[in-house]
Amino acid sequence: MSTSRLSRRSLLALTGVGLTSGCIRQLESTFSRDHQQQLSFSIKTVPADADAVATKVARYLATQLQRVGISASVVPVSREELLRSVLLNHDFDVYVYRFPLPWDPDFLRPLLHSRYAPDVGWQNPFGYGDLSLDSLLERQQTERGVVRTSTLTDAQHRIAENQPFTPVAIPHTARATRPDRVDWPVDEPIHSVAAYLGARPVETRRFPSRVPPTAAVGNVTTNESTQTTPATTDTATDAPQATNRLRMTMTDARPTENLNPLSTPFRSDGTFIRLVYDSLGRVLDDEMHPWMAASWDWLDDDSSTLSVRLRDDLEWHDGNAITAADVAFTFRFLADTSLGSLDQLVPSPEYRGRASLVDSVSAASSREVHLGFGDVDEAVALRALSVPILPEHVWEPYARPTSVSWLDGGRVTEALVRNNLEPVGSGPFRVTGTSFRESLSLEPFDAHFLATQTLDESLARFEGGFAFDGLEFIVAPSGGSAIKLLSDGVVDATAGLLSSDAVKSALATPDISVRTGVSQWCYHVGYNLRKPPFTNPRFRRAVARLVARPYLTESVFDGRAYGVMSPLATTEFSPTGESWTAVLDELRFVGNHRTGSLDTSSARSLFEDAGYTYSKSGELLVQR
């Protein structure tokens, strides 16, 4: 922009030779001004089929922006396209979507640290840069207890003040089940590894015709087919077992198209990956427990080297033995999926934050791995143990530039883009087939340590393994169709989250019950700080003040969400106190936050305060 202005000026100056200088000056100051135009930008989000809540929030925001004179339009794009353009290509103005909320707040570090601004994936997609936030995010890594809480409070202040993104709400999750068919573990959210492993068939399901209808044991309340289960184990041997599969619906068809753990556009909450791939540790009851690892110990007092011992006799789904070399390979591979074959590192965007905690890795023996950490607290370091462990013999050949690398300059490896529809993992489930955009079938992996080994306390509940012969995910295009499949008895539960409309129809359907759960996502408005006007924090703060959280949580989320000003608002790290209230006051919705109606003139003055002007017809103007 500035270069064209200069050249136009010099051109004017040149052509002006011979004219009176006063005339030239007047001409110059007239023509060299860039004319002003209405500010317009697009808000990317997913279509209602994928996530009606996101679409509604985006539409609400667009309407409010239009009221303050900004020409904002909503551009619906598919889930993978949204993730591709926001996370990989940084090709957006504003987007509305959700990011996953891992159990440890260290996820804020890759999300907002300026070092990750040129990176891809959920690594600072906004392009935010703030040295004082950087140091707070680095510090919290090394701290624990109240000290860490206080640092994270400061970090949340800074984030709220600068609004690199505007958090909107953390939704409650809702899934529908058929309690007459499957007993789910009470404490686990459905569609988690722990829930699948703990699910049990309700015995009547296998023998619908054999159960005598007389045995009405009155105090069980579900429905008429409720039975106690005497002696069914004896008859189980000669009963047909072919249909003993756990069948789920999913609304998101992406797992039928791609099962590559490293593919950012195709990954959401990671459950499918965790079914198929094991990790050294797993978060159970909010704590990291050994999973593939038998145990781990810090080697010295400075907490910098963790010695991880693998369980005995671990096997990949293809029958090969798992060794410490595979684990070492995984960490090297996540840090550089080209394994040094390209002249620059090509890290896996999906696990960048966690893999970056590990400075060095070496296989000390066939069962023991040493992970070297930088200056991080033990609790934060353990986050690194949740990355999926990949078989070296499968992935090593993909550490090369993509076959279409001439298109992109060779900075993408095959490993990042392959579909991996026949994944070789070591997880409790093995993929037996996928049908494009229709279904995904898995079966329990018999050689998995949960099935073959004696387990300690933290994993004892998984002993006995998966209680079904197979696990099947059927794509149902919407919550409504999922409930229909459920009430028809074609499936046993829904894996995808239900919209509030679907929840209502589920509750109105006999035999179906709804389970609500802990939130895993933060809906937010993301800004691209790489381009104006989003480079201006005052502008972002003004936009943030157009978001009426109580109104949105009531009308859009139907009361099933927490309106939040910080992604940590529902955790123990949620800030309190006067100074936090002061921060929030300055970001208050301009208008009635319950009805969502905007005080348009006050809102417009916010943008004027941020340095923008309005045209006579009320358009917010920017220089072009």
Partner 1 sequence: MNAPPLVSMLVSVLGGGAAALFVATLGIVGPTRVRDAYGTFRERARDASKYLGLLVVVLLVNKLARDVGPEVSWLLGWNVTGLIYAVEGNFVMHVQSLATPTLTAVLSAIYLSGYVFLLTFPFVAYFVATDRRPLKLTAVAYAVNYGIGLCCYILFISYGPRNLLPGQVESLLYVTYPQTQILTRQVNVNTNVFPSLHTSLSVSAALVAVRTYGEYPVWALVAPILASAVAFSTMYLGIHWALDVVAGALLGVASVEIADSVVDARTDETSST
Binding site for partner 1 (CB under 8 A): 42, 47-49, 52, 55-56, 59, 73-78, 81, 247, 436-439, 472, 474-478, 480-481, 483-485, 488, 490, 501, 556
Nearest residue (CB) to partner 1, 59 versus 540: 59
Q: Which is nearer to partner 1, 1 or 407 (CB)?
A: 407
- Residues across the chain: 624
The dihedral sign for the CA sequence 613, 616, 619, 623: negative
Q: Which is nearer to partner 1, 46 or 101 (CB)?
A: 46
Separation CA 583–CA 160 (nearest Å): 7
Residue 538 CB partners (closer than 8 Å, separation 6+): 609, 610, 611
Nearer to partner 1, 390 or 476 (CB): 476
Q: Name which of 139 and 484 has its Cβ closer to partner 1.
A: 484
Cα distance between residue 350 and residue 355, in whole Å: 9
- Kindly tell me which of 41 and 329 has the beta carbon lying closer to partner 1: 41
C-beta of 85: minimal distance to partner 1 in Å? 10
Q: Report CA 213 to chain centroid distance, whole Å.
A: 47
CB of 547 to partner 1, least distance (A): 17
For residues 160, 164, 169, 173, the Cα torsion angle rounded to the nearest 10 degrees is: -130
How many H helices and E strands in the chain?
Answer: 23, 26
| Beta-ladder partners of 44 | 75, 95
CA 418/CA 347 separation, integer angstroms:
15
CB of 168 to partner 1, least distance (A): 16
Give the nearest distance from C-beta 182 to partner 1 in angstroms: 17
**Residue 170 is which amino acid?**
I
3-state secondary structure of 416: helix
Amino acid at site 619: E
Nearest approach, Cβ of residue 44 and partner 1 (Å) = 9
Spell out the residues 6+ positions from residue 362 whose beta carbon is closer than 8 angstroms to its own: 328, 369, 370
Give whichever of 481 and 513 is closer to partner 1, judged by the CB atom. Answer: 481
Minimum distance, C-beta of residue 222 to partner 1, in the bound complex (Å): 24
Nearer to partner 1, 60 or 184 (CB): 60
Shortest Cβ 257–partner 1 spacing (Å):
9
Candidates 309, 327, 305; CA nearest to 371 is 305
For the CB of residue 346, give the shortest distance to partner 1 in the complex, in Å.
22
Dist CA 92 CA 470 (whole Å): 41
